[in-house]
Structure 1
Amino acid sequence: MNRKELFKHIQNKKSFLCVGLDTDLSKIPVHLLKEKDPVFEFNKQIIDHTIDYAVAYKPNIAFYEALGPKGWESLQKTLEYIPKDIFTISDAKRGDIGNTSKLYAKAFFEAMNFDSITVAPYMGRDSVLPFLDFENKWVILLALTSNEGSEDFQLIQSNKGEFLFESVLRKSAEWGNPDNLMYVVGATRGENIAKVRALVPDNFFLVPGVGAQGGSLEEVAKYGMNDHCGLLVNSSRGIIYAGKDLDFGKQAERESRILRDEMEKLLEKYL
């Protein structure tokens, strides 16, 4: 999926919602544990109830890897179930020396056919460039994350007063372009989102941290939106675990609709 197609999808649905499929067997409704593949059954019902509001789905790969071969089977079935016009994100946070990154890229882009993958930039360009060699596939580079420990490194300042995350943005922008490179930018960072947008004005951001983590959707749009929206705002726990009983799908639908309705207003306001 290219950038124009993604923006058109956002316009059609009046939404820039990404639903995170962080599917945990200890948190899904108990009645699903009787199913042959409870993870896939849970994902299937979440997708069925949120598909009218979501433009992207983001499986967090750790939740599937932890289950061994069965988890990979559940992930593959989930991918095959997601409609083809929906953007898919492998939240795998890969990044290693060149040959290894190339194989990671082949795994997620060719074998599993994800549209995108999250990548850690710490090892530099030769760990990221192999992911950028695939046509109509995207790297989503960790830039300014919303976790507490992000301050350990990302907010270190150079003797010129530049934060490390700003250095990462400047350098990585030389490797890709707005048609194949996105950035993870946490919603809880407030005005720092504006600093990121100033450095990479045309790139899409994947924004976690809205909802359960306390980020403000209004602030994300105010500081991060550009003329083609440029945002995919992720909600995981706030949607998929909104309900714990037989009607969990309907509860997920309700939460998705609430977010979409707010997003529709923000698109009208800032575009």
Structure 2
Amino acid sequence: MNSQELFEQIKIKKSFLCVGLDTDKNKIPAHLLDAEDPIYEFNKAIVDATHDLCVAYKPNLAFYESEGIEGLKSLERTVKYIRSNYPEIFLIADAKRGDIGNTSKMYAKAFFENMDFDSVTVAPYMGADSVTPFLSYENKWVILLALTSNKGAFDFQFMEENGTRLFEKVLETSKEWGTPENMMYVVGATKAESLTDIRKIIPNSFLLVPGVGAQGGSLSEVAKYGLNDTCGLLVNSSRGIIYAGSDEDFALFARGEALKVQTEMSSLLEEKGIA
């Protein structure tokens, strides 16, 4: 999926919502545990209930890898189900990979060829040769970790040298590796005040913004400082949506929470003159 196709979906759905499929077997409704593949059945119900309200899904690989081979099978089934039934959806592998070139090449093959994701989150610490193998795939995306929403972000990301903070150095350097057509950036919603400075460096790039919802980030603040003329945002909510309900009607509760977010997004896009 290219940026224009993604933007068209944002306009059609009046939404820039990404739903995180951080599916924990210990948190899904008890009645699903009798199913042959509880994780897949949970994901399928969430997707069926929310696909018209969001433009992207973001499975977090840790939740599937923690279940061993069966968890990876659940992930594969989830991706295939979305591809078959809702092909307009943008799929993000939240894997946070980043290794030397040969290893990154294999990671890229895994996520883009074998698993058929549109994008994968990548850590930039090892530099260009750990990132560029992902950029060789047409209409596939790297989503580079730039400024994260966790408390530990302050350990390194705000370190300053000659007036430039580390996350700004990451942005300045990495934008030479790719383009706004194949590289997005992770910017945490809890750091919304930094979006003005970030937009000065990468005005045209899409930003994947976690931290809205359970982590306390403000959607209106993110939109105020982060929206550009083609939206340029994918705002993720995981726990606040998928675990909104815990009984047999859990998917209806998930839809209700997703609808609240989409409704606010629609208004924000309209204010910007996009939708």
Q: TM-score range by the shorter chain?
A: over 0.9
Structure 2 residue identity aligned to 1:28:
I
How many positions carry a matched residue from both structures?
Answer: 270
Question: What corresponds to 2:116 in structure 1?
Answer: 113
TM-score (norm 1): 0.99
RMSD: 0.5
Q: Distance in 1 between matches of 2:53 and 2:9?
A: 11
Q: Distance in 1 between matches of 2:200 and 2:112?
A: 30
Q: Quick check: 37-46 or 192-201, which moved more?
A: 192-201
Report % sequence identity. 65
Moved over 2 A (4+): none
Q: Distance in 2 between matches of 1:3 and 1:13?
A: 15
Segments of 5+ residues of structure 2 without an aligned counterpart are none
Question: What corresponds to 1:203 in structure 2?
Answer: 205
**Contact kept? 1:92, 1:118, Cα under 8 Å:** yes
Structure 2 residue identity aligned to 1:218:
S
SS in 2 for 1:196: helix
Aligned with residue 223 of structure 1, among 222, 225, 247: 225
Shift of 1:203: 0.3
Aligned with residue 105 of structure 2, among 97, 102, 106: 102
**Contact kept? 1:208, 1:233, Cα under 8 Å:** yes
**Cα deviations by residue, 1:249-271 (Å, 9 ceiling, x for unpaired):** 00000000000000000001123
**Cα deviations by residue, 1:73-111 (Å, 9 ceiling, x for unpaired):** 000000011121100000000010000000000000000
**Cα deviations by residue, 1:19-69 (Å, 9 ceiling, x for unpaired):** 000000110001100000000000000001001101000000000001111
Aligned with residue 162 of structure 1, among 164, 183, 195: 164
SS in 2 for 1:117: strand
Aligned with residue 140 of structure 1, among 132, 139, 143: 143
Question: What corresponds to 1:92 in structure 2?
Answer: 95
Q: Distance in 2 between matches of 1:42 and 1:239?
A: 13
Shift of 1:190: 2.1
Q: Distance in 2 between matches of 1:181 and 1:152?
A: 25
Q: Distance in 2 between matches of 1:184 and 1:70?
A: 29
**Contact kept? 1:222, 1:270, Cα under 8 Å:** no
Shift of 1:161: 1.3
SS in 1 for 2:96: strand
Shift of 1:205: 0.3
Question: What corresponds to 1:255 in structure 2?
Answer: 257
Segments of 5+ residues of structure 1 without an aligned counterpart are none
Q: Distance in 2 between matches of 1:52 and 1:165?
A: 34
Question: What corresponds to 1:193 in structure 2?
Answer: 195
